[in-house]
Amino acid sequence: MSSTLTAEEKERGAQLKRATYASSVGSALEYYDFALYGLASALIFGKLFFPNDDPATGLIKSFAIYGVGFLARPVGGLIFGVLGDKIGRKFVLVVTIVLMGGSSTLIGVLPTYQQVGVLAPTLLLILRLLQGLGAGAEQAGSTVLMAEVAPVKRRGFFAALPFIGIQGGTLLASAVFAYMGTLPEEILLGWVWRIPFLCSILLILVAVFIRVKLNETPTFQELANQKEVARQPLSELFKNSGSLVFKGIGLRMAENGGSYLFQSVAVAFVTTAPLTQDKTTGSLAVALGSLIGIFSVPFTGSLSDKFGRRTMYRTGAIFITLFSFPAWYMLSLDNKWLTILTIAVGIGICVNTMLGPQCAMLPELFGNRSRYLGVAMSREISAVLAGGIAGIIGASLIKAFDGSWVPLAIYMFILSLITLISTFLVPETAGRDLLMIEDARTESIPVITDSHGFQITNTGSTAVIFDGETRRVIKTEEK
Protein backbone atom coordinates (compact mmCIF):
# COMPACT_ATOMS: atom_id res chain seq x y z
CA MET A 1 0.00 0.00 0.00
CA SER A 2 2.79 2.40 0.94
CA SER A 3 4.60 1.81 -2.35
CA THR A 4 1.41 2.71 -4.25
CA LEU A 5 0.99 5.89 -2.23
CA THR A 6 4.63 6.77 -2.81
CA ALA A 7 4.18 6.31 -6.54
CA GLU A 8 1.12 8.55 -6.49
CA GLU A 9 2.98 11.18 -4.51
CA LYS A 10 5.85 11.07 -6.98
CA GLU A 11 3.46 11.48 -9.89
CA ARG A 12 1.74 14.44 -8.21
CA GLY A 13 5.14 16.01 -7.62
CA ALA A 14 6.15 15.44 -11.23
CA GLN A 15 2.88 16.91 -12.50
CA LEU A 16 3.35 19.95 -10.28
CA LYS A 17 6.84 20.45 -11.63
CA ARG A 18 5.74 20.07 -15.26
CA ALA A 19 2.83 22.44 -14.69
CA THR A 20 5.15 25.02 -13.13
CA TYR A 21 7.55 24.88 -16.07
CA ALA A 22 4.74 24.91 -18.65
CA SER A 23 2.98 27.87 -17.05
CA SER A 24 6.19 29.80 -16.43
CA VAL A 25 7.41 29.55 -20.02
CA GLY A 26 3.97 30.51 -21.32
CA SER A 27 3.81 33.50 -18.98
CA ALA A 28 7.31 34.51 -19.99
CA LEU A 29 6.39 34.39 -23.67
CA GLU A 30 3.13 36.33 -23.19
CA TYR A 31 4.71 39.12 -21.22
CA TYR A 32 7.89 39.15 -23.27
CA ASP A 33 5.68 39.72 -26.32
CA PHE A 34 3.45 42.28 -24.66
CA ALA A 35 6.25 44.18 -22.94
CA LEU A 36 8.19 44.09 -26.19
CA TYR A 37 5.23 45.41 -28.12
CA GLY A 38 4.49 48.05 -25.47
CA LEU A 39 8.05 49.33 -25.46
CA ALA A 40 8.18 49.27 -29.26
CA SER A 41 4.90 51.22 -29.34
CA ALA A 42 6.33 53.82 -27.00
CA LEU A 43 9.68 54.19 -28.74
CA ILE A 44 9.82 53.08 -32.40
CA PHE A 45 6.57 51.84 -34.02
CA GLY A 46 5.28 55.35 -34.63
CA LYS A 47 8.33 56.08 -36.81
CA LEU A 48 8.16 52.74 -38.63
CA PHE A 49 4.44 52.48 -39.36
CA PHE A 50 3.17 56.09 -39.10
CA PRO A 51 6.10 58.21 -40.34
CA ASN A 52 3.90 60.90 -41.94
CA ASP A 53 2.29 61.93 -38.63
CA ASP A 54 3.70 64.28 -36.02
CA PRO A 55 5.38 62.37 -33.13
CA ALA A 56 2.45 62.80 -30.70
CA THR A 57 -0.14 61.57 -33.22
CA GLY A 58 2.11 58.70 -34.31
CA LEU A 59 2.42 57.70 -30.65
CA ILE A 60 -1.37 57.68 -30.23
CA LYS A 61 -1.86 55.56 -33.37
CA SER A 62 0.88 53.18 -32.26
CA PHE A 63 -0.78 52.73 -28.88
CA ALA A 64 -4.17 52.36 -30.61
CA ILE A 65 -2.95 49.21 -32.39
CA TYR A 66 -1.43 48.14 -29.07
CA GLY A 67 -4.90 48.52 -27.56
CA VAL A 68 -6.53 46.49 -30.36
CA GLY A 69 -4.68 43.44 -29.09
CA PHE A 70 -6.47 43.89 -25.79
CA LEU A 71 -9.83 44.14 -27.53
CA ALA A 72 -9.18 40.70 -29.01
CA ARG A 73 -8.29 39.19 -25.63
CA PRO A 74 -11.86 38.79 -24.30
CA VAL A 75 -12.83 37.12 -27.58
CA GLY A 76 -9.90 34.72 -27.20
CA GLY A 77 -10.76 34.21 -23.55
CA LEU A 78 -14.35 33.42 -24.49
CA ILE A 79 -13.49 30.98 -27.28
CA PHE A 80 -10.70 29.15 -25.51
CA GLY A 81 -12.27 29.49 -22.05
CA VAL A 82 -15.32 27.56 -23.26
CA LEU A 83 -13.04 24.93 -24.78
CA GLY A 84 -11.01 24.75 -21.57
CA ASP A 85 -14.12 23.99 -19.54
CA LYS A 86 -15.53 21.55 -22.12
CA ILE A 87 -12.56 19.53 -23.35
CA GLY A 88 -9.85 20.25 -20.79
CA ARG A 89 -6.99 22.57 -19.88
CA LYS A 90 -4.10 20.85 -21.67
CA PHE A 91 -5.32 21.11 -25.28
CA VAL A 92 -6.12 24.81 -24.95
CA LEU A 93 -2.74 25.60 -23.42
CA VAL A 94 -0.95 24.09 -26.42
CA VAL A 95 -3.11 25.93 -28.98
CA THR A 96 -2.88 29.35 -27.32
CA ILE A 97 0.90 29.33 -26.99
CA VAL A 98 1.31 28.56 -30.70
CA LEU A 99 -1.17 31.24 -31.78
CA MET A 100 0.24 33.91 -29.50
CA GLY A 101 3.92 33.20 -30.10
CA GLY A 102 3.54 32.64 -33.84
CA SER A 103 1.91 36.03 -34.28
CA SER A 104 4.71 37.73 -32.35
CA THR A 105 7.35 36.02 -34.44
CA LEU A 106 5.70 37.19 -37.67
CA ILE A 107 5.80 40.82 -36.48
CA GLY A 108 9.55 40.50 -36.85
CA VAL A 109 9.24 39.99 -40.64
CA LEU A 110 6.69 42.74 -41.33
CA PRO A 111 7.43 45.34 -44.01
CA THR A 112 7.40 48.98 -42.86
CA TYR A 113 5.32 51.90 -44.14
CA GLN A 114 8.18 53.08 -46.35
CA GLN A 115 8.23 49.67 -48.07
CA VAL A 116 4.51 48.92 -48.66
CA GLY A 117 2.59 51.97 -47.46
CA VAL A 118 -0.68 51.54 -45.58
CA LEU A 119 -0.45 47.74 -45.90
CA ALA A 120 2.25 47.77 -43.20
CA PRO A 121 0.11 49.06 -40.31
CA THR A 122 -2.76 46.89 -41.59
CA LEU A 123 -0.65 43.73 -41.27
CA LEU A 124 0.57 44.89 -37.88
CA LEU A 125 -3.04 45.28 -36.79
CA ILE A 126 -3.96 41.76 -37.96
CA LEU A 127 -1.02 40.14 -36.16
CA ARG A 128 -1.80 42.14 -33.04
CA LEU A 129 -5.36 40.80 -33.15
CA LEU A 130 -4.14 37.20 -33.47
CA GLN A 131 -1.65 37.78 -30.68
CA GLY A 132 -4.46 39.06 -28.48
CA LEU A 133 -6.68 36.06 -29.27
CA GLY A 134 -4.02 33.65 -28.06
CA ALA A 135 -3.08 35.72 -25.05
CA GLY A 136 -6.75 35.98 -24.07
CA ALA A 137 -6.77 32.47 -22.65
CA GLU A 138 -3.06 31.84 -22.10
CA GLN A 139 -2.71 33.47 -18.69
CA ALA A 140 -6.11 32.26 -17.50
CA GLY A 141 -5.11 28.72 -18.45
CA SER A 142 -1.79 28.96 -16.65
CA THR A 143 -3.50 30.36 -13.57
CA VAL A 144 -6.15 27.64 -13.49
CA LEU A 145 -3.61 24.89 -14.22
CA MET A 146 -1.38 25.81 -11.29
CA ALA A 147 -4.23 26.40 -8.83
CA GLU A 148 -5.71 22.98 -9.66
CA VAL A 149 -2.50 20.99 -9.22
CA ALA A 150 -0.95 22.88 -6.28
CA PRO A 151 -1.09 21.61 -2.67
CA VAL A 152 -4.03 23.28 -0.94
CA LYS A 153 -2.14 24.78 2.00
CA ARG A 154 0.53 26.29 -0.28
CA ARG A 155 -1.65 27.11 -3.26
CA GLY A 156 -0.91 30.83 -3.04
CA PHE A 157 2.82 30.22 -3.29
CA PHE A 158 2.75 27.60 -6.05
CA ALA A 159 0.09 29.41 -8.09
CA ALA A 160 2.30 32.50 -8.02
CA LEU A 161 5.45 30.69 -9.21
CA PRO A 162 4.54 30.73 -12.94
CA PHE A 163 4.07 34.46 -12.69
CA ILE A 164 7.79 34.72 -12.22
CA GLY A 165 7.62 34.11 -15.97
CA ILE A 166 5.74 37.41 -16.28
CA GLN A 167 8.57 39.20 -14.58
CA GLY A 168 11.18 37.23 -16.53
CA GLY A 169 9.52 37.98 -19.86
CA THR A 170 9.15 41.67 -19.03
CA LEU A 171 12.71 41.81 -17.75
CA LEU A 172 14.03 40.18 -20.91
CA ALA A 173 12.09 42.54 -23.20
CA SER A 174 13.16 45.57 -21.18
CA ALA A 175 16.80 44.52 -21.15
CA VAL A 176 16.73 44.00 -24.91
CA PHE A 177 15.26 47.44 -25.49
CA ALA A 178 17.62 49.07 -23.01
CA TYR A 179 20.50 47.77 -25.13
CA MET A 180 18.80 48.62 -28.40
CA GLY A 181 18.24 52.18 -27.18
CA THR A 182 22.00 52.69 -27.20
CA LEU A 183 22.25 51.93 -30.92
CA PRO A 184 22.18 54.60 -33.64
CA GLU A 185 18.60 55.23 -34.74
CA GLU A 186 19.21 54.34 -38.38
CA ILE A 187 20.47 50.88 -37.36
CA LEU A 188 17.69 50.34 -34.80
CA LEU A 189 14.92 51.30 -37.23
CA GLY A 190 16.59 49.55 -40.14
CA TRP A 191 16.61 45.91 -39.01
CA VAL A 192 17.71 45.45 -35.39
CA TRP A 193 14.18 46.02 -34.02
CA ARG A 194 13.10 42.77 -35.71
CA ILE A 195 15.45 40.49 -33.77
CA PRO A 196 13.57 40.46 -30.40
CA PHE A 197 10.31 39.53 -32.12
CA LEU A 198 11.92 36.75 -34.15
CA CYS A 199 13.38 35.30 -30.95
CA SER A 200 9.83 34.52 -29.75
CA ILE A 201 10.00 31.28 -31.71
CA LEU A 202 12.54 29.87 -29.25
CA LEU A 203 10.12 30.27 -26.36
CA ILE A 204 7.33 28.70 -28.43
CA LEU A 205 9.34 25.55 -29.07
CA VAL A 206 10.25 25.14 -25.41
CA ALA A 207 6.67 25.77 -24.23
CA VAL A 208 5.07 23.34 -26.68
CA PHE A 209 7.60 20.62 -25.83
CA ILE A 210 6.75 20.92 -22.12
CA ARG A 211 2.99 21.24 -22.54
CA VAL A 212 2.45 18.16 -24.67
CA LYS A 213 3.88 16.14 -21.76
CA LEU A 214 1.35 17.51 -19.26
CA ASN A 215 -1.41 15.42 -17.74
CA GLU A 216 -4.91 16.86 -17.46
CA THR A 217 -5.56 18.54 -14.08
CA PRO A 218 -7.11 16.29 -11.37
CA THR A 219 -10.08 18.63 -10.91
CA PHE A 220 -11.09 18.45 -14.59
CA GLN A 221 -10.46 14.70 -14.60
CA GLU A 222 -12.85 14.40 -11.66
CA LEU A 223 -15.47 16.42 -13.54
CA ALA A 224 -15.12 14.13 -16.54
CA ASN A 225 -15.27 10.99 -14.38
CA GLN A 226 -18.42 12.23 -12.64
CA LYS A 227 -19.90 13.33 -16.02
CA GLU A 228 -20.27 16.85 -14.64
CA VAL A 229 -18.49 18.75 -17.44
CA ALA A 230 -20.53 21.82 -18.38
CA ARG A 231 -22.26 21.56 -21.76
CA GLN A 232 -22.85 25.32 -22.00
CA PRO A 233 -20.10 26.97 -19.92
CA LEU A 234 -20.89 30.50 -21.13
CA SER A 235 -24.60 30.53 -20.26
CA GLU A 236 -23.88 28.73 -16.99
CA LEU A 237 -21.18 31.22 -16.07
CA PHE A 238 -23.26 34.35 -16.54
CA LYS A 239 -26.38 32.76 -15.06
CA ASN A 240 -24.68 31.62 -11.87
CA SER A 241 -21.45 33.63 -11.63
CA GLY A 242 -21.99 36.92 -13.44
CA SER A 243 -21.50 39.03 -10.32
CA LEU A 244 -18.20 37.29 -9.58
CA VAL A 245 -16.94 38.09 -13.07
CA PHE A 246 -17.61 41.79 -12.49
CA LYS A 247 -15.91 41.66 -9.09
CA GLY A 248 -12.92 39.93 -10.68
CA ILE A 249 -12.78 42.72 -13.26
CA GLY A 250 -12.75 45.27 -10.45
CA LEU A 251 -9.90 43.47 -8.71
CA ARG A 252 -7.79 43.71 -11.86
CA MET A 253 -8.23 47.40 -12.66
CA ALA A 254 -5.32 48.67 -10.57
CA GLU A 255 -3.10 45.62 -11.07
CA ASN A 256 -3.45 45.42 -14.85
CA GLY A 257 -3.95 49.12 -15.51
CA GLY A 258 -1.14 50.11 -13.17
CA SER A 259 1.18 47.59 -14.77
CA TYR A 260 0.73 49.00 -18.27
CA LEU A 261 0.74 52.61 -17.09
CA PHE A 262 4.15 52.09 -15.51
CA GLN A 263 5.51 49.86 -18.28
CA SER A 264 4.42 51.85 -21.33
CA VAL A 265 2.81 55.21 -20.61
CA ALA A 266 5.39 56.25 -18.03
CA VAL A 267 8.17 55.32 -20.48
CA ALA A 268 6.55 57.48 -23.16
CA PHE A 269 5.89 60.30 -20.65
CA VAL A 270 9.51 60.72 -19.54
CA THR A 271 10.74 60.84 -23.16
CA THR A 272 8.15 63.41 -24.31
CA ALA A 273 9.07 67.11 -24.40
CA PRO A 274 9.69 69.03 -22.22
CA LEU A 275 11.10 65.99 -20.37
CA THR A 276 14.46 64.82 -21.67
CA GLN A 277 15.00 61.23 -20.48
CA ASP A 278 16.69 59.03 -23.06
CA LYS A 279 15.18 55.78 -24.36
CA THR A 280 17.21 53.57 -22.03
CA THR A 281 15.88 55.11 -18.79
CA GLY A 282 12.36 53.71 -19.01
CA SER A 283 13.56 50.32 -20.19
CA LEU A 284 16.03 50.06 -17.30
CA ALA A 285 13.29 51.06 -14.86
CA VAL A 286 10.88 48.41 -16.16
CA ALA A 287 13.68 45.83 -16.05
CA LEU A 288 14.44 46.66 -12.41
CA GLY A 289 10.75 46.51 -11.49
CA SER A 290 10.49 43.10 -13.11
CA LEU A 291 13.59 41.91 -11.28
CA ILE A 292 11.98 42.92 -7.98
CA GLY A 293 8.82 41.12 -9.10
CA ILE A 294 10.66 37.81 -9.47
CA PHE A 295 10.85 37.83 -5.68
CA SER A 296 7.80 39.88 -4.67
CA VAL A 297 5.19 37.85 -6.60
CA PRO A 298 5.87 34.44 -4.99
CA PHE A 299 6.54 36.15 -1.64
CA THR A 300 3.16 37.87 -1.55
CA GLY A 301 1.53 34.71 -2.89
CA SER A 302 3.03 32.82 0.04
CA LEU A 303 1.90 35.51 2.47
CA SER A 304 -1.65 35.08 1.14
CA ASP A 305 -1.53 31.44 2.29
CA LYS A 306 -0.86 32.71 5.80
CA PHE A 307 -2.85 35.95 6.05
CA GLY A 308 -5.51 35.45 3.37
CA ARG A 309 -5.94 36.48 -0.26
CA ARG A 310 -8.04 39.56 0.46
CA THR A 311 -5.65 40.94 3.07
CA MET A 312 -2.66 40.84 0.73
CA TYR A 313 -4.64 42.07 -2.27
CA ARG A 314 -6.00 45.00 -0.27
CA THR A 315 -2.50 45.84 0.91
CA GLY A 316 -1.31 46.17 -2.69
CA ALA A 317 -4.39 48.24 -3.60
CA ILE A 318 -3.65 50.64 -0.74
CA PHE A 319 -0.01 50.89 -1.84
CA ILE A 320 -0.83 51.92 -5.40
CA THR A 321 -3.64 54.26 -4.34
CA LEU A 322 -1.29 56.18 -2.04
CA PHE A 323 1.51 56.07 -4.61
CA SER A 324 -0.46 57.44 -7.58
CA PHE A 325 0.15 61.17 -7.13
CA PRO A 326 3.70 61.00 -5.72
CA ALA A 327 4.72 58.62 -8.54
CA TRP A 328 3.70 60.86 -11.43
CA TYR A 329 5.03 63.96 -9.69
CA MET A 330 8.44 62.32 -9.31
CA LEU A 331 8.37 61.23 -12.95
CA SER A 332 7.77 64.86 -13.94
CA LEU A 333 10.98 66.01 -12.23
CA ASP A 334 13.07 64.74 -15.16
CA ASN A 335 15.60 63.01 -12.92
CA LYS A 336 16.92 59.76 -14.38
CA TRP A 337 17.49 57.88 -11.13
CA LEU A 338 14.24 59.08 -9.60
CA THR A 339 12.44 57.90 -12.73
CA ILE A 340 14.02 54.46 -12.47
CA LEU A 341 13.16 54.21 -8.76
CA THR A 342 9.56 55.32 -9.27
CA ILE A 343 8.75 52.91 -12.09
CA ALA A 344 10.58 50.04 -10.38
CA VAL A 345 8.65 50.52 -7.12
CA GLY A 346 5.37 50.92 -9.00
CA ILE A 347 5.82 47.63 -10.86
CA GLY A 348 7.86 45.60 -8.37
CA ILE A 349 5.99 46.51 -5.17
CA CYS A 350 2.61 48.16 -5.82
CA VAL A 351 1.42 46.08 -8.78
CA ASN A 352 2.99 42.79 -7.76
CA THR A 353 1.63 42.85 -4.21
CA MET A 354 -1.75 42.41 -5.90
CA LEU A 355 -0.55 39.96 -8.54
CA GLY A 356 0.88 37.51 -5.99
CA PRO A 357 -2.41 36.64 -4.24
CA GLN A 358 -4.43 37.08 -7.46
CA CYS A 359 -2.85 33.96 -8.99
CA ALA A 360 -4.75 31.70 -6.58
CA MET A 361 -7.66 33.98 -5.75
CA LEU A 362 -9.29 34.20 -9.18
CA PRO A 363 -9.49 30.40 -9.72
CA GLU A 364 -10.74 29.98 -6.15
CA LEU A 365 -13.64 32.36 -6.78
CA PHE A 366 -15.24 30.09 -9.40
CA GLY A 367 -16.73 26.61 -9.26
CA ASN A 368 -15.15 23.71 -11.10
CA ARG A 369 -17.56 23.62 -14.07
CA SER A 370 -16.88 27.16 -15.32
CA ARG A 371 -13.55 28.05 -13.70
CA TYR A 372 -11.45 28.45 -16.85
CA LEU A 373 -14.03 30.68 -18.53
CA GLY A 374 -14.69 32.64 -15.35
CA VAL A 375 -11.01 33.43 -14.85
CA ALA A 376 -10.56 34.23 -18.55
CA MET A 377 -13.49 36.66 -18.63
CA SER A 378 -12.42 38.38 -15.41
CA ARG A 379 -8.87 38.76 -16.64
CA GLU A 380 -9.49 39.71 -20.24
CA ILE A 381 -12.43 42.09 -19.96
CA SER A 382 -10.39 43.94 -17.35
CA ALA A 383 -7.39 43.81 -19.69
CA VAL A 384 -9.39 45.87 -22.19
CA LEU A 385 -10.86 48.29 -19.65
CA ALA A 386 -7.62 48.79 -17.74
CA GLY A 387 -4.51 47.77 -19.70
CA GLY A 388 -5.76 47.97 -23.28
CA ILE A 389 -6.91 51.57 -23.25
CA ALA A 390 -4.26 52.75 -20.78
CA GLY A 391 -1.85 53.53 -23.59
CA ILE A 392 -4.46 55.37 -25.67
CA ILE A 393 -5.78 57.38 -22.71
CA GLY A 394 -2.29 58.03 -21.40
CA ALA A 395 -0.91 59.22 -24.73
CA SER A 396 -4.02 61.37 -25.27
CA LEU A 397 -3.67 62.93 -21.82
CA ILE A 398 0.00 63.68 -22.49
CA LYS A 399 -0.94 65.45 -25.72
CA ALA A 400 -4.09 67.21 -24.45
CA PHE A 401 -2.49 68.61 -21.29
CA ASP A 402 0.94 69.44 -22.74
CA GLY A 403 2.77 66.77 -20.77
CA SER A 404 1.22 67.56 -17.36
CA TRP A 405 1.58 64.79 -14.81
CA VAL A 406 -1.64 65.55 -12.89
CA PRO A 407 -4.20 63.95 -15.28
CA LEU A 408 -2.12 60.77 -15.41
CA ALA A 409 -2.01 60.64 -11.61
CA ILE A 410 -5.79 61.11 -11.41
CA TYR A 411 -6.30 58.30 -13.94
CA MET A 412 -4.17 55.86 -11.93
CA PHE A 413 -5.84 56.94 -8.68
CA ILE A 414 -9.31 56.16 -10.08
CA LEU A 415 -8.22 52.68 -11.22
CA SER A 416 -6.71 52.05 -7.79
CA LEU A 417 -9.87 53.09 -5.95
CA ILE A 418 -11.96 50.68 -8.04
CA THR A 419 -9.71 47.78 -7.03
CA LEU A 420 -9.57 48.84 -3.38
CA ILE A 421 -13.38 48.91 -3.19
CA SER A 422 -13.57 45.53 -4.96
CA THR A 423 -11.49 43.86 -2.23
CA PHE A 424 -14.40 44.52 0.16
CA LEU A 425 -16.91 42.85 -2.17
CA VAL A 426 -15.31 39.41 -2.61
CA PRO A 427 -15.12 36.55 -0.10
CA GLU A 428 -11.93 35.14 1.37
CA THR A 429 -10.97 32.12 -0.75
CA ALA A 430 -7.74 30.77 0.74
CA GLY A 431 -7.83 26.99 1.15
CA ARG A 432 -11.05 26.56 -0.80
CA ASP A 433 -11.74 23.11 -2.30
CA LEU A 434 -11.48 23.46 -6.08
CA LEU A 435 -13.49 20.29 -6.67
CA MET A 436 -16.61 22.13 -5.56
CA ILE A 437 -19.01 23.04 -8.37
CA GLU A 438 -20.40 25.99 -6.40
CA ASP A 439 -18.73 29.39 -6.57
CA ALA A 440 -17.08 30.97 -3.55
CA ARG A 441 -19.61 32.59 -1.27
CA THR A 442 -19.38 35.49 1.15
CA GLU A 443 -20.00 33.13 4.06
CA SER A 444 -17.37 30.46 4.64
CA ILE A 445 -18.16 26.79 4.02
CA PRO A 446 -16.86 24.61 6.86
CA VAL A 447 -14.54 21.74 6.09
CA ILE A 448 -14.40 18.93 8.67
CA THR A 449 -11.59 16.36 8.74
CA ASP A 450 -12.60 12.96 10.13
CA SER A 451 -10.45 10.41 11.95
CA HIS A 452 -9.47 8.72 8.65
CA GLY A 453 -8.05 11.89 7.14
CA PHE A 454 -11.03 12.43 4.85
CA GLN A 455 -12.63 15.85 4.61
CA ILE A 456 -16.34 16.61 4.44
CA THR A 457 -17.66 19.82 2.88
CA ASN A 458 -21.35 20.72 3.16
CA THR A 459 -22.32 22.86 0.17
CA GLY A 460 -25.98 23.32 1.03
CA SER A 461 -27.56 20.63 -1.16
CA THR A 462 -24.86 17.98 -0.92
CA ALA A 463 -22.14 16.72 1.37
CA VAL A 464 -18.91 16.05 -0.53
CA ILE A 465 -16.43 13.64 1.09
CA PHE A 466 -12.93 13.84 -0.34
CA ASP A 467 -9.35 12.86 0.46
CA GLY A 468 -7.69 15.82 2.17
CA GLU A 469 -4.33 15.10 0.56
CA THR A 470 -5.11 14.06 -3.01
CA ARG A 471 -8.37 16.08 -3.27
CA ARG A 472 -10.08 13.08 -4.85
CA VAL A 473 -13.83 12.79 -4.21
CA ILE A 474 -14.64 9.70 -2.17
CA LYS A 475 -18.42 10.09 -2.15
CA THR A 476 -21.13 12.69 -2.80
CA GLU A 477 -24.26 12.42 -0.66
CA GLU A 478 -27.52 14.26 -1.40
CA LYS A 479 -28.91 15.88 1.75
* The pLDDT of residue 450: 47
Length of the chain: 479
Average pLDDT over residues 322-339: 94
* The pLDDT of residue 324: 96
- Pick the closest to residue 46 from 35, 33, 55 (CA basis): 55
Average pLDDT over residues 34-52: 77
- Residue 449 forms beta bridges with which residues? 455
Average pLDDT over residues 145-162: 89
**How far apart, in whole angstroms, are the C-alpha atoms of residue 85 and residue 92?**
10
Average pLDDT over residues 296-324: 95
pLDDT higher than threshold 90 for residue 455: no
- Pick the closest to residue 378 from 272, 251, 293 (CA basis): 251
Average pLDDT over residues 232-245: 87
* The pLDDT of residue 4: 53
Q: Where are the domains of the chain?
A: 11-422, 447-478
* The pLDDT of residue 59: 74
**How far apart, in whole angstroms, are the C-alpha atoms of residue 246 and residue 223?**
25
pLDDT higher than threshold 70 for residue 9: no
According to CATH, the topology of domain 11-422 is Growth Hormone; Chain: A; (1.20.1250)
pTM: 0.78
* The pLDDT of residue 227: 80
Residues 216-230: tens digit of each pLDDT: 888 888 888 878 788
- Pick the closest to residue 363 from 288, 308, 439 (CA basis): 439
Average pLDDT over residues 419-444: 85
Percentage with pLDDT > 90 across the chain:
27
* The pLDDT of residue 411: 95
pLDDT higher than threshold 60 for residue 449: no
